[in-house]
Amino acid sequence: CPFEWFHYPCVGIAAPPKGKWYCPQ
């Protein structure tokens, strides 16, 4: 999945979650 931390508006959240995170897929 191509999402990066700066894509969080695209994945439907307002701010990056704490810790490492990746696309749910």
Q: Tell me the percentage of the chain whose pLDDT exceeds 90.
A: 0
pLDDT at 23: 59
Would you list the domain boundaries of the chain? 1-25
State the average pLDDT over residues 4-24: 61
Instruction: Band the pLDDT of 4: cuts 50, 70, 90.
Output: low
The token duo for 22 is: 């990746």
- The whole-number average pLDDT for the span 17-21 is 62
0.85 surpassed by pTM: no
CA distances from 23 to 1, 5, 16 (A): 6, 10, 12
The pLDDT value given to residue 3: 55
CB 15 within 8 A of CB 5: no
CB 15 within 8 A of CB 8: yes
